[in-house]
Chain A
Amino acid sequence: MYYILLIVGAALVNNFVLARFLGICPFMGVSKSIDTAVGMSMAVIFVMTLASFVTWLINFYLLVPFDLQYLQTIAFILVIAALVQLVEMIIQRVSPPLYQALGIYLPLITTNCAVLGVAILNIQLGYNLLDACIFAAGAALGFGLALVIFAGMREDFELNTIPEAFRGTPIALVTAGILSLAFMGFSGLVK
């Protein structure tokens, strides 16, 4: 039950994009079509879970013993970037189909703020290793959900007559705001 609540809390109540406002760049950039949004979501789920695992270890087995927590941000960025590069190489060799599916999105999100955000939140919220991984997977699911919903809405814009001043990014931002309000309806569901 605790883990279900953890996932629901991370995915819906405190949705990374719509409630915490992390990872807005890919949310705006890769949401023009549902296909690319799904590819991006898959890559985010993968990287966020992996990054949480590694950064948690780094924090508690390297930074804390040496009393260097103030280096958290830079150490995490360094480790996540290196890790994603490594994983990309391994996937390309071991599983070409998976490599094709994740495609360009994998290297794109190495230092995405949602990825770094989840790594830091794991530490701030005092999760243990398992909690951290599940929290990250839930958060990434929420990111993917928001991204796919938003991409679906943006696809429909193509067929609407939008006043000239709102065309393009302005209407996308307005829509993102309203979508965010809708997700506020989940607040209070999980503490």
Chain B
Amino acid sequence: MISSILLLGGIGFLAALVLGISAVTFAVKMDPREQEVLDQLPGANCGACGYAGCAAFAHEITVNPEAEMACPAVNEKALEAISAVLGRSLGGSAPLIACIRCKGAPAETTNRYGYIGPKDCRAAQIVAGGPKGCQYGCLGLGTCEEVCPFEAIIMGEDGLPRVIESLCTGCGKCVSACPRGIIQLIPRTGNYWVGCVSKDTAKEMKPLCKVGCIKCGICGDVCPFDAITVSKTASAEIDQDKCQRCGLCVSACPTGVISALSVPRKVHIIAEKCKGCSICEQVCPAEAISGKVKEPYLVNEGKCIGCGLCIEKCPSDAIERIIS
């Protein structure tokens, strides 16, 4: 009885002693900033940064002074906090958002065969290239919805996935999961995208889909900034760097395939920088800017169409784009 208590107690005491000593001698100095950085990261462990989870990335960015902010899902507030913790400014990439480049809901398209396999686009794609008539369109089985770690994609009643803009962090999980490659990441400050990636000509597309890009080229012609390229064998593409968000292409498109984010983009004049030169007032096509010369000008957000012409013309860089 006594000996058993002594023995077990002894082993336990010895183990505790050894563990206690080695906890001190083998202590790995963890940078306290690492935990602070980790607290700011989204914690979804989605892996979009290229590291094995948020903790691994927090470690990397803390110890390596040259590491860039690779997390596409971090928001601006957290980015600022992390920059403050690390004492260096992390530009990060412009925040991205996923857009679904297909508008061919089942009601608008035809199927080549009935598919009754597992409810997974990747599985359906393996079966003779998928049931959809259009070989480029959305299969609508919700694989993107399933892989989204932020629950930012839901399958709409029309059978197409829909991105919830406030939840999407632009991590790109859906992009790599989609077997059709129709999900694209565009800058959050961008506004328009073409909801079709079909390479079919208008004639080939006609029996398959009523709402695809027919390569008519009208959008390219109306675009004042030369930001849209169209060819006979590829759907229209909007160059997000050139696009000034004027929205002319949306109303010109005969099939309505060009889509816009639902959150409108506006401009904002930074009062401290504005010298009151009145150039912005003159270039604004919507008469949304007003003010007195030599005093800061003001933007009427109700009228602003977010075209950004003023940003380009402003000599003192006093105008910035905001998400209204």
Contact = CB atoms under 8 A, between A and B. Distances in A.
B3 A66 contact: yes
Interface stretch (A25-33, A79-87, A138-146, A171-179): A79-87
Given A66-B3, A160-B118, A82 B8 contact: no
A71 B7 contact: yes
Interface string B6-27: 0110011001101100110011
B18 A159 contact: no
Nearest to B119: A161
A66 to B, nearest CB: 5
B117 A161 contact: yes
A79 B7 contact: no
Q: Is the interface of A mostly helix, strand, loop or mixed?
A: helix
Interface residues of B, number: 24
Given A66-B7, A71-B7, A79 B26 contact: no
A180 B116 CA distance: 32
B7 A92 contact: no
B28 A75 contact: no
A68 interface: yes
B22 A74 contact: no
A85 B126 CA distance: 47
A160 B234 CA distance: 35
Contacts of A100: 52, 56
Contacts of A92: 26, 28
B120 A89 contact: no
A78 B118 contact: no
A191 interface: no
B262 interface: no
Given A86-B18, A89-B26, A92-B28, A79 B120 contact: no
Interface of A: 58, 62-63, 66, 68, 71, 74-75, 78-79, 82-83, 85-86, 89-90, 92-94, 100, 158-161
Interface of B: 3-4, 7-8, 11-12, 15-16, 18-19, 22-23, 26-28, 52, 56, 116-118, 120, 122-123, 126
Given A90-B26, A100-B56, 5 more contacts: A63-B7, A66-B3, A78-B12, A79-B15, A86-B22
